[in-house]
Amino acid sequence: MFKLNERITLVTGGASGIGLAIADTFSKAGATVIILDREAAKAEAVAESLRQLGGRVESLPLDVVDEQACAVVAETVVRRWGRIDILVNNAGIGHVGTMLETSGTDMDRLYAVNVRGIFNLIKAVLPNMLTRRSGNIINLASIGGIVGIRDRLAYCTTKFAVVGMTKSLALDHALAGIRVNCICPGRVETPFVSARLAEYPDPLKAREEMASTQALGRMGNPTEIAAAALYLASDESAFVTGTSFIIDGGWSAGK
C-alpha cells in the first residue's frame, strides 16, 4: 500500500521542513522526486543526501513567484522525464499582524508566494496532466485556512484562498482524471518555526504556548504531515478530491 513507484513528483520548498519530509517520504515510496526551491545549493545538497539513501531525487532552482520560471521548470521536467504525475505545492511564507499591523506590501508579498505561487505552478503543469488525463495535485494550506487565527490576518487570508483554489480546481478537472486536495496542518516543528521561537524574549514559554494550541498538547512533526501527503498521492485515496485534510492535533475540534 501507499506506493508511488516511478511517479514523477515535484515538491516546492523541498529543501527543508515539511517539504523535505515529503520529498524523503515520497522517495522511499518509490517516486522520482524533483525538489524545487529558491535555495539551489541547499536543494541540491538535500537531493544528494536522499540519493545516498537510494532515492531517485533531483533538484531544480525555482522561485514560485516567477510565472515564466514555473513554465520553464514544467517544460524541463516533461522534456527529461516525459510527464508530471504529482505536484506538491509546499512553498509558503508567514506574517504576524492584525489589519493595522499589516501593510499593503506585506499582503502583496504573502499573496505572491502563498497564492499566486501555487497558481503559477499549477498553470504550468496542468496541461501535461490534462493531456494524459491523469494527475495529482496536493496544496499545503493551513489550519489558518479553516479557522481564523489572531494576529495572522495576511496569512489566514492567503490560506483560505488556497483552500478555495483547491476546491475549484478539483471540481473543474475531476472528470479529466485530475485529483486536487490540500493539507491543513496545525503548528508543526520545522526549522522556520524554531527560528521564529528563538526571536521571542522567552523562547521556551513561547514554545509551550504554541504547543498548547493543539488539544494533544504538542506541535506536529513534519513526518506526520508527509504521511498524509503520501496517502493523498497514492492510489489508496483514489476517491478523494477537493478535500481539506486537517492535521492539527485537535486545534479546530472545538471551533
pLDDT at 199: 81
Instruction: Annotate 215-253 with b (16+ C-beta within 10 A) or e (fewer).
Output: eeeebbebeebbebbbbbbbeebeeebebbbbbbbebee
Domain ranges of the chain: 8-185+221-245, 189-219
- Residues 92 and 116: their CA atoms lie apart, in Å, by 11
pLDDT at 101: 96
**Cell, residue 160:** 483560505
pLDDT at 43: 97
**Cell, residue 81:** 522525464
- Residues 210 and 237: their CA atoms lie apart, in Å, by 31
- Residues 45 and 101: their CA atoms lie apart, in Å, by 37
- Residues 234 and 254: their CA atoms lie apart, in Å, by 31
**Cell, residue 192:** 522556520
Q: Is 239 helix (H, G, I), strand (E, B) or coil?
A: coil
DSSP secondary-structure letter at 249? T
| Other beta carbons within 10 Å of 30 | 14
DSSP secondary-structure letter at 215? T
**Cell, residue 6:** 516511478
CA angle 63, 23, 5 (to 5 degrees): 125
The superfamily (CATH) of domain 8-185+221-245 is NAD(P)-binding Rossmann-like Domain (3.40.50.720)
**Cell, residue 98:** 492584525
What residues have CB less than 8 Å from 23, skipping those under 6 apart?
A: 11, 14, 33, 35, 46, 50, 57
Sheet holding 56-61, edge to edge: 56-61, 32-37, 8-12, 86-89, 135-140, 178-185, 244-247
> Within the chain, which residues score under 70 in pLDDT?
none
- Residues 22 and 86: their CA atoms lie apart, in Å, by 12
Active-site residue numbers? 155
Q: What is the mean pLDDT of the chain?
A: 96
For residue 221, the one-letter residue type is N
pLDDT at 120: 98
pLDDT at 37: 97
